[in-house]
Each structure stands twice: as C-alpha cells, then as structure tokens.
Amino acid sequence: MARDPGTSDYSDPRPKEKCGIIGCTGTSPVTSDLYYGLRILQHRGQESAGLAVFDGGLKAKRGMGLVHEVFTKEDLLGLRGNSGIGHVRYSTTGSSVLDNAQPIVVNTSYGEIALAHNGDIANANEIREELSKKGWAFMTTSDSEVIVRLLANEIANTGDVKRALREFTNRLVGAYSLALMINDTVYAIRDPLAIRPLCVGEGNGRMMISSESVVFDALGFKFIRDLKPGEIVELRADGFESTRLPHPNHTAHCMFEWVYFARPDSVLDDRLVYDARVKIGEQLAREYPITADIIVPVPESGRAQAQGYAQASGLPVVEGLIKNRYIERTFIMPDQQEREIGVMLKLNPIRSAVKNKRIVLIDDSIVRGTTIRKIVQILRLAGAREIHVRIGCPPIRFPCYLGIDMKTRNQFIANEKTVPEIADFINADSLGYLSLRGLISALKHSRDDVCLGCLTGEYPVPIPGEKLRREKPLEMFAESAGGSPSRKKTKTAA
C-alpha cells in the first residue's frame, strides 16, 4: 500500500524508506530546484526535511514534517545559494528525532561540511567508538553523523578533500548514497554495491544529483545516468568530474525499490519501476492463475502489478477500492485497533463493482498481514463472493540493515505462519506470493546484482550475527513461494 504524504504512518505497518537525497550546483540560486525536488522525493521520507546551501557560508534549515510544512517562503528566501543539498527522512519516534534530521552540518578545520545520507551503515557503532576515543564528540544517534565525522577526521589527517573522499569509505560497511557539500562544492557518492539509488541530471545551466530520476522529469531537467557502483562525482555548473572507488564486479541493488518504494515513473539502474511492476503482475498471473471475474488493485501500490496480471490473464482491472488521499498524518498510538481504523479511513469499496464478484486482489508485499486482512474484510462486507490475494513479492522474513525501516524478525507474519495459515488469517480464498525466480526475472537484473537479504536472510555485506550471501539455488529459499496458490479448504477457488 502506498505511503504518500497525508496518510497515517501508524495505520500502515508497511516498512518505511528512510531517506531521499538531492544536490545541485549552478551559476544562480538553486534553492527552488532543491525545494521542489525534495517535494517530489517526499514518498521516500515524511518525518523530516532539510536543506543546506552555500552563500559565502553554509546556511541550513531542518524541521519535522512534510517538505511544505518545514519551509516557509521566508525560509526559502533566506536559503539562497548557488549550490546546496537536501534530504527527506522517515525516522522512528523518539525525543531526538529532530537531532537526527538532515542535512547534518559540521565545522572542520578545512571548512563546513553538510551531509545527506540514504542507507544504513552496519559498522557505525564500531566507528563511533573509535572516533570517540580520538576525541570526536557525537551530537546524535544517527549513523549519518558517524559518516560525516569519519570524513572530517580523514580530511584532518590528509588535508586533501579528494583523497579523504576516496579513503574514508574504506571504513564504511553497508549502504550509502551520499550528497555532500564541502564549503561550496557538492559531491555525490554511491556505495560500491550500489545498494540504494542515486542518479545525475542537468538542466537550466545546473547539475543535479537525486535519489530518483523522476525529479529530473518534473523539474524539466535531463536525466544523464545512474551513478556507477563506488562512483564519486563532483558537481560543477557545467558538468561533473567522476572517480571510482574499488568495487566488486557485481552490485546489490535493493529489490524493494522496484517492488514498493520508488515511484513507478522513476528509472532505477536501467529498469523503469513501472515496467518491473507490470512484469511482476504478469509473472503472478502465470504462477497463480485463477478463475475470477475482476482484478482489484490495492491503491496505489498494487496498480501496475494489477495491470500486468490483467495483460497475462485477460481479466479486467476494476477500481474496487477508493483511497482517501487527504487523511492527515496522525501521531496516535500504533496499536492494532488504531491501525485497522486507519485502513478503513483510507480505503472504501465501490460496492456495485465488487458485489457478487470473484476478485483477484493484488498488493505489493505483506509485512504483518493486518492491513491486507482489513482490506479483505472491507471487500467481503461489500459483498465480494471470492477473494484471491496475489502478492508481488516473496514472503519477507528477515530484517533490513541497509536502509529500510524493518529491523526485527518478529514483525513479519511469514515467520509465524505458513502460507495456508496466512491465507486463513487474512480470510482469503487463496493466497499466492511471487516466487524469487519470478521476482528476479521481472527486475531484469541478474540474481547476483540484487539484494534479496530480507527474503533469504543472506546479505551482500557482512552483518554481525547474519549470513553473508553465498550463491545457492533460489529454490532453497522458496519453501512457501512458487507452485500452487494456498487455498482455503472451505471454499472453492477453481
């Protein structure tokens, strides 16, 4: 289910993307491009937003809320500069949330550094301890502050920014797409496995880096390309300079960007997100055919997959669920009852469209199972005859340590129940999860080039207490995906 601004995070237990980043350099103020770019990246983080620009000195503002809530017109007029970076973040609740908002700004002997980070650093605690012993003081609990202090330490040691940029990353284990401003110069870095997205574009005499290419479309910029694994670029008004960090001969792009997080109109690493989702839907139809009357997508995230299922099955797509886009975010207690009320507030059925119908209900993924259970209930109350749930991602069972907010195993229903038990729990007539093989074929990247850690429990970088990825047959991870859909015994699903 989509998590667009204006909906309650607590009513949707779906994992949250932690960040979106942007950076721009030109010969005139870039504030407006950064601001609107951040608004376009709002789906990547809705808890806080921030901008830092250089105008003879570094000026920054960060705040809690959506981008348009954080910045007033006066703020933007006061943040004029020919280079700058920006950040949107989803963060967990707690007293220090604003402290963890970005860009993080630090003063060093070399000058001012601002950092916007998307990802997670697996060895952040270790580096924090080392730097603390050297006398560096930390103001936040964020791993992003560890990155910026590590860089500041390296610049202090070498006195050479370019060398420091190449060398400080040797210590980082994990996922990092970075926008950095060091005095008036904007740099972007993508980790050597290219786990989180980052791309570069140009327009209006400016160069820009962004988490997603959709920003360039909306601002009238030209998309140039994705940053390569381990690439460092230095933005100039008329171009960029590029160097590479050492990198392996494979990548580990996060599969969840295509499945759920990124906007469908973004191109990530040569694959349009919409096309990947349509292909996922086609694959679902092949893996789990069913006799039914209509396909109903869960809005918005099931739409493209539903289109693909329709193309492969010949069934019509019907908008049987209408989403209220204008429910305000709330900060109510995240208990079960509140979540279920949240689903009802957000989704309403078209009774005449679903009554007496055998429905294929399509969504992108299942975490706890409570949201899809409520949606099935809404459709049943509206008179649906049969509901066959199809999910465009294999069962999620393992935490993400690489930039997505799902940190514990016990939040995943697939760890507690078998697929038939999940079908019972959500009260579906049948349930089918996309197979791992089907997912990989839809992404059009080789299995070696995508991260599947939250599906297989094997990660592309060393994570303490977890398994490092070794290539095994995909079927070894597919005990509950692939083959026939799980069906309830009490009802027929021809």
Which one from 19, 199, 254, 393 is the annotated catalytic residue?
19
CA–CA distance, 128 with 150 (Å, rounded to integer): 9
Strand partners for 358: 386
**SS3 (DSSP) at 239:** strand
* 127 counts as binding ligand SF4 under rule CB under 6 A: no
Q: Which of 70, 312, 343, 404 binds ligand SF4 (CB under 6 A)?
A: 404
The contact mask relative to ligand SF4 for 304-333 (x = CB under 6 A, - = no) is ------------------------------
Annotated active-site residue 451? The verdict is: no
DSSP state at residue 315? P
414: contact with ligand SF4 by CB under 6 A? no
The answer to the question of residue 402 lying near ligand SF4 (CB under 6 A) is yes
Residue 451 in contact with ligand SF4, rule: CB under 6 A? yes
Quote the least distance from Cβ 176 to ligand SF4, whole Å.
12
CB-CB neighbours of 76 under 10 Å? 17
Q: With binding defined as CB under 6 A, does residue 453 bind ligand SF4?
A: yes
Q: Which is nearer to ligand SF4, 296 or 452 (CB)?
A: 452
Q: Which of 22, 304, 361, 400 binds ligand SF4 (CB under 6 A)?
A: 400
Stretch that binds ligand SF4, among 52-60, 317-325, 398-406, 468-476 (CB under 6 A): 398-406
Binding mask 233-272 for ligand SF4 (x = CB under 6 A): ---------------------xxx----------------
Per-residue binding letters, 354-393, with ligand SF4 (x by CB under 6 A): ----------------------------------------
Round the CA-based radius of gyration of the chain to a whole number and report it.
23
Closest among 288, 301, 312 to 390, alpha carbons compared: 288
Q: Interface with ligand SF4 by CB under 6 A: which range of 97-105, 385-393, 397-405, 462-470? A: 397-405
Closer of 149 and 277 to ligand SF4 (Cβ): 277
Query: With CB under 6 A, what is the number of residues at the site for ligand SF4?
Result: 11
User: Which amino acid is it at 32?
Assistant: S
In the set 150, 195, 318, 463, which binds ligand SF4 (CB under 6 A)? 195
Euclidean distance between CA atoms 93 and 283, whole angstroms: 38
Given the complex with ligand SF4, which of 104 and 400 has the nearer CB atom?
400
Cβ closest to ligand SF4, residue 83 vs residue 301: 301
Q: How far is the CB of 61 from ligand SF4 (least distance, A)?
A: 30
Distance of alpha carbon 454 from alpha carbon 407, whole angstroms: 10
Query: Which of 274, 178, 272 has the alpha carbon at shortest distance from 232?
Result: 178
Q: For 196, which DSSP code?
A: S
Q: Which is nearer to ligand SF4, 234 or 269 (CB)?
A: 269
Residue 24 makes contact with ligand SF4 by CB under 6 A: no
Q: What minimum distance in Å lies between the beta carbon of 123 and ligand SF4?
A: 16
Binding segment for ligand SF4 (CB under 6 A), chosen from 202-210, 221-229, 231-239, 446-454, is: 446-454
Task: List residues bridging with 388 in a β-sheet.
Answer: 360, 430
Q: Is the peptide bond before 300 cis (omega within 30 degrees of 0)?
A: yes
Q: Which is nearer to ligand SF4, 361 or 452 (CB)?
A: 452
Instruction: Say which residue the tokens 């005990």 belong to.
Output: 479
User: Nearer Cβ to ligand SF4, position 445 or 487?
Assistant: 445
Do residues 229 and 239 lie in contact, with contact meaning Cβ atoms separated by under 8 Å?
Answer: no
Choices 228-236, 337-345, 431-439, 449-457; region in contact with ligand SF4 by CB under 6 A? 449-457
Both tokens assigned to 268: 């990530």
Nearest C-alpha neighbor of 366 from the set 329, 318, 415, 332: 415
174: left (phi over 0), alpha (psi -120 to 50) or beta: left
What angle do the packed helices 161-168 and 143-158 form, to 10 degrees? Answer: 130
273 lies in the site for ligand SF4, by CB under 6 A:
no
* Closer residue to ligand SF4 (CB): 82 or 251: 251
Q: Are 451 and 460 in contact (CB under 8 A)?
A: yes
CB of 194 to ligand SF4, least distance (A): 11
List Cβ neighbours of 437 (8 Å cut-off, separation of 6 or more): 474, 475, 478, 482
Per-residue burial over 230-246, b if 16 or more Cβ lie within 10 Å, else e, is bbbbbbbbeebeeeebe
- Check residue 18 and give left, alpha or beta (phi > 0: left; psi -120 to 50: alpha): alpha
Pick one of 454, 463, 474, 478: the residue that binds ligand SF4 (CB under 6 A).
454
Q: How far apart (Å, rounded) are the C-alpha atoms in residues 324 and 278?
A: 24
- Separation of alpha carbons 397 and 358, rounded Å: 30
The amino acid at 456: T
Residue located via tokens 């070794």: 470
Closest distance between ligand SF4 and the C-beta of residue 196, in Å? 8
Active site residues: 19
Binding site for ligand SF4 (CB under 6 A): 195, 254-256, 400, 402, 404, 451-454
